[in-house]
Structures are given as structure tokens and as C-alpha cells.
Structure 1
């Protein structure tokens, strides 16, 4: 299979060719924040101008990164320091640091309660902090190794992968209690997670057996299972186009289209070594992949547009 993607350009990234991790886009301002894990930095890229704005230091072993445009803030997990770090989106200044559990990874934002949730992967919990002040709001043990976390704006619940139990935990952010556990038959080690709230669907990537599960958020049943690239990691969803992107540690990217709440795989191919991170712009429909080695052999942000 090929990918229905066409290269647009490559944007040179600073630093060495060590590992990148999550990326998060503010589409309104055209600012993409990339976790350069190996350099303990966040890289800020102006995707409209096609240039790097700044690098932000002081983020030891940074994994997760999440921009919250409404707050003009960026949150990052400094994994080696077991911290969530809040940054000013405009200046890159560190605003506060909050302690987490062991090995904080992915992040999600709850706009109703004004909180940031950090997944403590090996710690098996979620750390909840006040988005404005960084003050601790609580900790939610999930009963196993924690994967990614996502906020459902329809039910105002948090969903968390519990990857050693092959299930989703549903948490009420008002009480910080698990209200439901959703089994994921056919999944080995659910790590990746993203929602299509308008369609009441969750997409779960299982890195142990290279499967993508579609979960109906109304019935809580798995409605489809698809093959993706080996060791899937980061997912991105373009709600306007109904298009899902699954980037894998193997460098394989899978694309799928969501029509009438059903996924159709439209492409699967090796994009580039290290292409396990993807972000998508819902306004331009461009997708972004930071990789350690571009065509010139240096760290690069690959930019693609969809097409037939």
C-alpha cells in the first residue's frame, strides 16, 4: 500500500539526531511545539513561515508536549525530573513546575475544571494539576501501567489507556474516580489514544500487536480492528476531513478515513526512519513529522499534504 500523502517541504530542525517525541500544534497561530527528548528541549516552529522560532531548554527527558491556545500556554512532561512544566506560548518562559508520579508521558487538558492531566506511565497513575497555578489537584491510580490520556468534551470525562490491562479507564474529573473500565479485546498494550468526539469514537493503538481499535463511546464496544505499522505510537486526527494518522516506531505511517463512524484504511507505508510522531493542522490539512534524519541527513520536520 502507498500513502495518500504528497511532500510539501522540509524544515530544518536544530540540535542533534537524537529522539523526538510528541508534537502539538496551535493552528490559529501556526505554532508547532516538538519535544526533542534526546536534547531535553522543546522546539517551537512557525509552520506558516517555515522556520524555527526558538528552542526551550530545561526540560529533562521531555516526552509529552501540549499547547492550550485558549490559555496561551504550553505544557511539557520533563520525564527525567518527574515534572509537568508550564511555558508561556509567546515567550517560551517557564511559568511553573509541578511534581508528578514516575515517568510522566502524555498530556491532556480539561477546560471545564481548568486542569492538566499527565500520564505517569510506569507510575500507573494520572497526575492532575491546576493549569493556571500548577498546584496539585490530585492523583488517580489506574491499576496498571498508564498509556495516553484524552478528554471527551461531550461527557466531560477523561479516558486513559491502561496498557498492562488492555483496557480504557473512564474517569470523572470532578470526583477523580474511575467510573468505568472498558475491555479492549484483540489489543496488546494499548498506548496510543485519540478521540473523534463528534462521532462518539475513540481510536486506540496497540503497540504490542500493531492493531488499531475503534471504540464506540456510546456502547463502549470495540467496533473495528485494523492493522497498522509495527509498534504504533502517536495518533493525530483531522476532524474536518475525518482523517486519522497513526505513526509507528518502525517509521511506518497509516492513514484512515472516518465515514459514517466507520474507518477505512487508505494507506500504509514506511515514511521515514524515526517517523513515530505526527501532528495535523485541521485548517490546512497538512501533517507534520519530526524525524532525526531528513534528506540532508540532519533533524528535519517533514511536511505533507493529503491527496489521492
Structure 2
């Protein structure tokens, strides 16, 4: 029995060491490029895990890619200025924040047909999410410094949440809390989805100008990426304290956390993505600076394949003027 115990201990130790070595040697490489039609600006990418589809915001429309084939299968168009996409699979509906139209646009997740354009009383809808705890869709409105509450069943706005500043990305823990970055205040609001009110506000210094936000549910950690100081800060959500800040590239917009690989993926507008290894809840290190493309600043992570998808266009040299017919999704895989 003692020999068996020692053997088992040794095997577990070897397995742990192997996983650690593999994690340290992991590397993202370019897999392919998916050309998409049309022109215009671009913002969020979102993955509907249930239907295995990638949604890419693009000017006045959303391009939809089947992740099994990685080919374009449809387009949702006719909007004024698209930002984010959220999913309520329980009622088979998706929701798009149409910032310039001051609306949340509902569509069928199977057919991709538009169901309704829901007028919002608040201006500047940007980030959007579905919160399963409250069964509500929320748009985060930069111009109005608030959030609109939409009922996915009645397709009507049911209220407004006053925020502490201009919101950027937001994440839900699915248990009654939503965390929302405030870009102009360099702080983070905590929303109670039972009362639909802000109950706490955490300063994020040294983070300046926070944009993207991701959640590690198990370790109760938030990852917020910040443009002004070019850093990713790790926040303990039980205390609101910043644990550490890791250098990243310039012009960051998005971040994603892969709970299986323990990797944090950060997309920067300077043409890089920073790949950070989570060694423990409080210890992090950069393991790769991936070369992508200028202004490939938003991404989505497929947690099934661990691939990351970044939208981008080509630009006239030295300008931010996109060249026609160059809109593309870059696909990177683990090697």
C-alpha cells in the first residue's frame, strides 16, 4: 500500500510538472484569415456557444460565421451603428446594440432574421450582455453614463441603471453581480441585479482608461485592460483590490480568459496580442507577444478549440482610413 501511494504521488507530480511545462511552452500561431464583405468600422466579436457561431460587428451590420466550417453563413443588416452582440439561448434570441440608432435589435438565433428594434431612452448604446440571474439584457451607454434594462421576453426597455461614469465592457457572474469598467473614471462599478443598482465602485489605479474586462469565476478575479498605462490589472472581486498589473501593448480594447489553459488573451491596437499565463490566483507572467495586425484590437475566444478571432481591416499608411474591401477576421490557434 505504501509503495502504491508513493507511486501514485510520483505520477501526480510528473503530471503536474508536464502540465506546467506545456503551459509555459504554449504558443499561438496564425491559422487562417476569413475575408468578410462590406466596409465600415468594427467593434465587438461575440461567440454563441450553443449554436457554435461567431458574430462580428461591422459598421451597420453583423457578419455571422459558422465556427465548424469557419465560413460566413449570414449577415444581419439595416442598422445605424453596431457595437456588441449578446445571446439569450433560453428564448432563442440575440440582441445587438445599435448605438447610433439608440436601440437594441433582437433577432432569431436560428434564422438570423430580425425580430424587433427596441427603442432605448438612453443614448450611446455600446457594450451589451445577457444576465441569466435577472433574465435581462443590458446595454451600457457611453454617452448617457448609464445602462438600459431590456426584457428579452416582452422586447421592451423596463428601466435604467445610473452608473458612476462612462461605461465600457461589462461581465456578469451569473449569480447576481455585474462588473462594469468606467473608462472616464478609471474605476469599476458593481451592479446588484436583484435591485438593478450600483452597490460598489472600485478604483482601478494604476489602471487608466479601462476598456476590456474578463472574469475568472473560480478564483474570483477580474482582468481589466487599460489604455493609458498599457497594463492589465488583476482585481480581487471580494475586496476590490488591485493585486498586480502586467504590461501589455498600446491601444488595447479586449481581453478574454481561458479557464482550461489558464491563459489571458489581450488584443492591442498596435498590432500585437499579449498572452499571459495565470500561474496562481495572484501570480501572472507574459509568455508571448503575438504579432497580429494594426488595429486588430478586439477579439473573441472559442473555449472549445482555444482559438482566438480578431477583426481588422487594412489602413492607408499613417492614417486610420480603412481601405475598401479589406475587412477580415484573423484566426489564431494553439501550437
Q: Would the TM-score normalized by the shorter structure come out above 0.5?
A: yes
Q: How well do the aligned residues superpose, as a CA RMSD in angstroms?
A: 1.9
Local SS of the residue matching 1:165: coil
Q: Is 2:51 aligned against 1:29?
A: yes
Partners of 1:64 and 1:106 within 8 A in 2? yes
Partners of 2:28 and 2:290 within 8 A in 1? no
Distance 1:73 1:293 in 2: 33
2:333 corresponds to which of 297, 305, 308: 305
1:168 corresponds to which of 177, 188, 211: 188
Note the C-alpha offset of 1:28.
Answer: 3.8
The aligned residue for residue 12 of structure 1 is 35
After superposition, the C-alpha distances for 1:173-196 in whole angstroms (9 at most, x for unaligned) are 111221111111101111211111
Note the C-alpha offset of 1:292.
Answer: 1.4
Q: Is 2:135 aligned against 1:114?
A: yes
After superposition, the C-alpha distances for 1:93-146 in whole angstroms (9 at most, x for unaligned) are 112222332211111211121101111012100111112222222111112211
2:284 corresponds to which of 263, 267, 277: 263
TM-score normalised by structure 1 residue count:
0.91
Unaligned segments of structure 2, at least 5 residues: 1-25, 316-324
Partners of 2:85 and 2:129 within 8 A in 1? no
Q: Is 2:64 aligned against 1:44?
A: yes
1:274 corresponds to which of 292, 295, 316: 295
Q: Is 2:221 aligned against 1:193?
A: no
Q: Is 2:97 aligned against 1:77?
A: yes
1:132 corresponds to which of 153, 156, 166: 153
Distance 1:103 1:251 in 2: 27
Q: Is 2:169 aligned against 1:148?
A: yes
Distance 2:29 2:134 in 1: 40
Q: Is 2:267 aligned against 1:247?
A: yes
* Structure of greater relative contact order (alpha carbons < 8 Å, 6+ residues apart): 1
Q: Structure 1 pair 283/21, CA: closer, same or farther in 2 (3 Å)?
A: same
After superposition, the C-alpha distances for 1:191-231 in whole angstroms (9 at most, x for unaligned) are 21111112201011112221111001122210010111112
Unaligned segments of structure 1, at least 5 residues: none
Larger mean CA deviation between 48-57 and 241-250 belongs to 241-250
Partners of 1:209 and 1:231 within 8 A in 2? no
After superposition, the C-alpha distances for 1:151-173 in whole angstroms (9 at most, x for unaligned) are 1224x211111222211111111
Q: Is 2:94 aligned against 1:94?
A: no
Partners of 1:286 and 1:303 within 8 A in 2? yes
Note the C-alpha offset of 1:82.
Answer: 1.1
Partners of 2:162 and 2:197 within 8 A in 1? no
Whose Rg is larger? 2
Local SS of the residue matching 1:81: coil
TM-score normalised by structure 2 residue count:
0.84
